[in-house]
Structure 1
Amino acid sequence: MPRTRRATAIRHTPATPTEVTGTLPPEPAPRPAAHRPNTPPDGGTWGRVVREVADDLAVDALARDRAGKPPHDEAGRLREAGLPALLTPPATGTGADWRTACAALREIAAADGSIGELLARHYVLSWSPRLFGTQESARSVERRALDGRWLWAGDVTLPDADRAPATDPGLTLTPAGEGYVLDGQKSFAAGVTVADRLLIGAPDTRTGEPVVVTVDPGHPAVTADPAHDRLGQRLTGAGAVRFDGVPVAPHDVVATVPREEHDVPPCATLAPLALRLALVHVALGIAEGALAEARDVIRRGAPPAWTAFEPDGSGYETRPDSDPYLLLHYGELVTAAHAAASVAEPATRALAGGLLAGQGLGVEERAEIAVLVAAAEAVTHRSALHVTTRLLELTEGAAAFADDPGLDRFWRNARVLTAREASPRRFRDIGDHYLNGAQLPLTLRG
């Protein structure tokens, strides 16, 4: 029986009305289940809008995951609800704050991890002009994005040249008049088929300095090749994009970044931290969504019988929801999710403060934020993998029923999302900071 309402495993504390200001711009005609964008929510209704979208996504999440099609419909659902505009910089006078945005990502990811990641990357990119550019250039981009209701995709992290894979030739910006010409190819983790604009970092061929630019993916010289048959996170719209002599006008140049990283201001180096923390909330949402789905399976009585064992090896038949050992396992998993949430919260507060500090952010403050984000990332990734793996074991046999809950999608999504970062590296950095007082390096490279 298809579910029409999504159960939530662990309810986070919603943003208070004072944390949310402004309204949403009007949007195109909505889906029946979504918020009506021509009546923008006030500060107290962001939570309701997010829950409605999450419930809408949860209804057909399994079918969409198995179909694995580009997320055109899903992006439309986000736009109809106005969620791309939830997080907008203060100068625009609309939107909510970072903590509210992270709570929204967690809620959406519990229903659909792929769409949670798509939205997470959009939020980070929408804030990036403020981190890299001048106030004037940032406001220009932000205003055009708000007026055009842009959904962002792209990548402003700059990998080391000696670590770039041979299969990825990278991007180059060649000066042409007052602007540039963009060439090359790059893979993106989300949005290549549905984004309204791409935000990209690439080196200037003349100076070698990284330059951050915006590109219209609809330009005829831009070709997107969506990724197919991914193990998990199938609906993010991942893929490769090729740029063949794409003109970049002066007003599309967001910023030129110093070539030497020690010359980069601390606020700019928050960009990779913001992305990592946003994806932490996506991973946490995936774990919570898996718990909620597994709870529904148990409450429906699938598997139909559960064999519990006493310490002496004797077994007895009991209802799944009354087996003391099953209760113990679920208690442990819920606690693991709670622990991850408790570690993510101080990192979220610290990053939100650092982003609002802007150019006033100091080196030591940035280093402390980096440690908190590293801790949140390491703990949450381990918890998400543990929770989703164990739930598959605890619900063994449920897939044999006609109403297959598809719990494997949560594990696949968690596995793909967390594979990009190595927890041992994060733990090493935290240990070095604690024992030796070492500061995590100021970097734009993640």
Structure 2
Amino acid sequence: MPKKSATGPSSPAPEPNHATEERRWPRVTRELADDLAFDALTRDRAGKPPVDEAARLREAGLPALLMPPGPLGRGSDWRTACAVIREIAAADGSIGELLARHYVLSWSPRFFGAPQSAEGLELPAAEEQWLWGGSTDIPGTEAESATDPELTLTPVPGGYVLNGRKAFAAGVGVADRLVLGALGTDTGESLIVLVDPAHPAVTSTPEHDRLGQRLTGAGSIGFDGVPVRPGDILGVVPRDEHDLSPFAALAPLALRLALAHVALGIAEGALAEARDVSRATPRGWPAADPDDGAYADRPGRDPYLLLAYGELVAAAHTAAAVVEPATEALARGLLLEQDLGVDERADIAVLVAAAEAVTSRSAMLITTRIMELTDGADSPADGPGFDRFWRNARVLTAQGSPTHSLRDIGDHYLNGTHPALSLRI
């Protein structure tokens, strides 16, 4: 069972008005992470929808951990939420992603609506431990594929009806609320809408046999004349990206950074679990030195093994060092809400791009190398299953493009260009 990695995040300093809660979350998270790690391999191989895992999250109270600032006075802050995501991902990358997407989507009423209306949704969401799913991608663009048709909202007396089908990376079958981008058929406006997936006109199709991240609840959801009340329209997205508020444009940045924490957590979980195996399992290095055989009974002292782990731990520390300032900057941006400026949002975007690029590379390096270092310690029947870390990292990092992130960083550094304001991930 993997323990908390030596490279993992330290608990954030508690806020004076949340001191008791802040001390509680590290303990709750650690207990849940240990619970998830215990049967992570078995659940990964079964590949079932994460119904039981979602229940574990609710039992621990984690869905309500991250609450936007407001009169509720509940929950924790962005830094704490990211630390929780990272530790859960170290135990189970799929559940780390499910939780990461939930936290970002739970801010949708604030990103796209008025604070007053957002507060009306936040209280029941916290009390009922809603798990949020969906996506804020706006359908109907050239990037939308023929297999992922747009969602449309058609006016009817008393509101709208939602039609279409869309694929999602997480939450299918387990989310309590869906946040969706849909196209208004009357005005052509892009709307952000909240939908209850329990409606009988909502159908879901889980995606089976994924390469990795098998327990996120990925799949597609269909909407056949689903009624939508006017109050469930969270906001309107401007057609011109330059008219998009900097605060609303934090939504995709928050998700990208949350997923960077998931990738880092997967890498740290692989390192922690492999460390225990490598301490006890002899490694058959090529006999290039007469003294190589001296470490057969002391595998943890093998100099080649020490060098390999040193490089991997350094890669994890490097990724963590890049992720932390991005996390701090985004936390400050969330607190500013509508007072966030364009230049401040651009600075956050560059930090997030750097975190995304570095963690993506580090996660793939670490999870790939770990399989080599633990060769012979794994078996399909009863081994620790180090391949799952690689598979999870591969599927997760494939969702974004480090090339695009690095290009944005370079353009900002050389030319002072602001990364584009967009809701696409």
> TM class, shorter-chain normalised?
over 0.9
Matched, 1:99 2:79: yes
Shift of 1:352: 0.8
Query: How many angstroms does 1:83 deviate by?
Result: 0.2
Matching residue's letter, 1:13? S
TM-superposed deviation, 1:305: 4.6
2:320 aligned residue? 341
Alpha-carbon offset, residue 313 of structure 1: 8.2
Matched residue type, 1:79: R
* Residue deviations 1:131-164 (CA, integer Å, cap 9, x gap): 1101222112212322332110000122561121
Structure 2 CA distance, aligned partners of 1:94 and 1:368? Answer: 29
**Any idea what the Cα deviations from partners look like across 1:307-335, whole Å, max 9, x if unmatched?**
3544x688535232111011000000001
- Tell me the C-alpha RMSD between the 2 structures: 1.7
Do 2:139 and 2:149's aligned partners in 1 also have CA atoms closer than 8 Å? no
In the other structure, the counterpart of 2:345 is 366
Q: Contact between 2:94 and 2:216, CA under 8 Å: does it hold in 1? A: yes
CA distance in 2, matches of 1:109, 1:155: 20
3-state SS of the aligned residue for 2:3? Answer: coil
Matches within 5 A, 1:4-403: 6-18=3-15, 21=18, 42-91=21-70, 92-158=72-138, 161-299=141-279, 301-302=280-281, 304-307=282-285, 309-310=287-288, 315-318=292-295, 319-400=298-379, 403=382
Which moved further from structure 2: 163-172 or 271-280?
A: 163-172
User: CA-to-partner distance for each residue in 1:346-378, whole Å, 9 max, x for gaps?
Assistant: 000111111110110110110110000000000
SS in 2 for 1:398: coil
Question: Which amino acid counterpart does residue 222 of structure 1 have in structure 2?
Answer: V
CA distance in 2, matches of 1:174, 1:192: 24
What SS class does the counterpart of residue 244 from structure 1 fall into? strand
Q: Give distance in 2, aligned partners of 1:207 and 1:85.
A: 35
**What SS class does the counterpart of residue 23 from structure 2 fall into?**
coil
Determine if contact 2:263/2:363 at 8 Å carries over to the other structure.
yes
Contact 2:63–2:126 (8 Å) recurs in 1? no
How far does the alpha carbon of each residue in 1:67-98 deviate from its partner, in whole angstroms, 9 at most, with x for none? 00000110000000100000011112100000
Match for residue 33 of structure 1?
none
* Runs of 4 or more consecutive aligned structure 1 residues displaced over 6 Å after TM superposition: none
CA distance in 1, matches of 2:51, 2:174: 6
Distance in 2 of aligned mates of 1:139 and 1:82 = 19
SS of match in other structure, 1:276: helix
What displacement does 1:345 show? 0.4
Q: Percent identity?
A: 64
Change in 2 beyond 3 A, CA 1:7/1:96: closer
Structure 2 length-normalised TM: 0.96
Q: Which amino acid aligns with 1:380?
A: T
Instruction: Point out the more displaced range, 394-403 or 83-92.
Output: 394-403
Counterparts of 1:136 and 1:178, CA distance in 2: 22
C-alpha separation between the residues in 1 aligned to 2:207 and 2:292?
A: 48
For the pair 1:429 / 2:408, whether they are aligned, the reply is yes
After TM superposition, the structure 1 stretch with the greater mean CA deviation from structure 2, 182-191 or 151-160, is 151-160
Q: CA separation of 1:401/1:325 partners in 2, compared to 1, >3 Å: closer, same or farther?
A: farther
Distance in 1, Cα, partners of 2:17 & 2:382: 39
8 Å Cα contact 1:179-1:253 kept in structure 2? no
TM norm structure 1:
0.91
Matched positions, count = 422
- The more displaced of 313-322 and 407-416 is 313-322
Structure 1 counterpart of 2:91, one-letter code: A
- Mapped to 1, the partners of 2:46 and 2:329 lie a distance apart of 39
How far apart are residue 235 of structure 1 and its match?
0.2
Task: State which drifts further: 257-266 or 97-106.
Answer: 257-266
Q: Partners of 2:147 and 2:385 in 1: how far apart?
A: 34
SS of the residue 1:280 aligns to:
helix
Distance 2:291 2:107 in 1: 59
Structure 2: runs of 5 or more not aligned: none
Q: How does 1:403-414 map to 2 (within 5 A)?
A: 403-414=382-393
